[in-house]
Amino acid sequence: MSDATDEEGDGDAAAGAGTGAVAGPRRPVVRLKPKAGRRLAAGSPWVYADELALDRRTKALPPGTVATLENAERRPLATVGVTPGSTIAARVLDADPDAEIDVAWFAARLRAALALRAPLYDAPYHRLVHAEGDAMPGCVIDRFGDAVAIQPNAAWVDQRLAALLAALDETIAPKVVVLNAGSRARALEGLEGETRLLRGALDGPIPTPMNGATYMADLMGGQKTGLFYDQRPNHAFVARLARGADMLDVFAHVGGFSLAALAAGAASALAVDGSAPALALAEQGARASGFADRFAVEKADAFDALRRLAGEGRRFGVVVCDPPAFAPNRAAVEAGARAYEKTARLGAAVTAPGGFLTLCSCSHAVDLERFRAACAAGLRAAGREAALIRSGGAGPDHPAHPALAETGYLKALTFRLL
């Protein structure tokens, strides 16, 4: 029998009734290729398609199938969620090859996530589940008081929403549950995008307290799950620098940096963004926080606005540029690095002497070293001497998986410009 024929036969048996005296049907088995699995052995929770023996039966498994992962010698390794057509063909759900991914399993994961957040946050406004960092690959859950937004970015989660909802009832009993399934990652899993209420009712954005300000989180129509919790510690740091200063918040979204700065005592803040709905939420937040008189917004292309402000001679004591991912994948790294260099150059041009410029990146494909180099090049091009005073990342409610660099995506560098 040839290797190819043998592989087909293994797949047929693996997906069938099993071997030995096992009663009833087994769940499917997927198998690593010979010599594959080095990343898995090093702790990575992802198995790429080129590492799996994708025979006919494995390729025919529906996206989201829970299976047992074996090595090439047929030794069980883990329980995985399988999407054969995705680049990430399997995600490790549990180190126990026989784990049942049921309500009890979800509840245990949620309790572990809650135990991390309990000493960190006084109120239920934070990220509850951060995918691989909380051992729930591809699943994101954000809390907004009595409401939660679920972002199932992997097919295995999407197929088990009922069990996840039951586990949420056991642990935090939310009154409102929103399915926020519009991320690009879902397309890679063969999933459609949609946003809808699964439970309860919403009469508008949810007021969300953070860093002394009130933000307005639009769970149904906003970006991602409605609010970016990951920048919270970086908002707080910049806010301290902004006391008594005029600040500029570019790519402001709902005013993450500017509202925190105003709450800390900034003299004024100008928020620039290309989204009118996001700026409207920022204005609502400023009114709810009680400092609308010190807050202004401008709907504009960020780069155009920076050039215009520089041409007008405007200078700010604190400037923040927090753009969307300029490099969403490895193929875009070079173009993304150039965009970050441009952002640093234009941001420096409107930063007052002795002022502070914070530059951010949420591109996981651009690592910290590359991002720092791009920022430094932009500052040199602007003719500004600078000192890096802080390098920040996401808050502790966004734990990074130690063997998966992609989960440590956020970078925030603060410079003092001389």
Give the residue numbers annotated as catalytic, written as ranges: 362
- From residue 94, how far is each of 80, 90, 298, 310, 312 by CA, in Å? 7, 12, 48, 53, 58
Helix (H, G, I), strand (E, B) or coil at 165: helix
What backbone phi and psi angles, to 5 degrees, belong to 69?
-90, 130
- With contact defined as beta carbons under 8 Å apart, do 314 and 348 qualify? no
Q: Return the closest-CA partner of residue 66 out of 168, 157, 128, 190.
A: 157
Helical H segments across 312-367, by residue range: 333-349
Q: Return the closest-CA partner of residue 257 out of 237, 277, 275.
A: 237
Cα of first residue to Cα of last residue in the chain, in angstroms, is: 73
Q: What tokens were used for 142?
A: 């954000």
Quote the CA–CA distance of 210 and 270 in Å, as a whole number: 19
The residue type found at 120 is: L
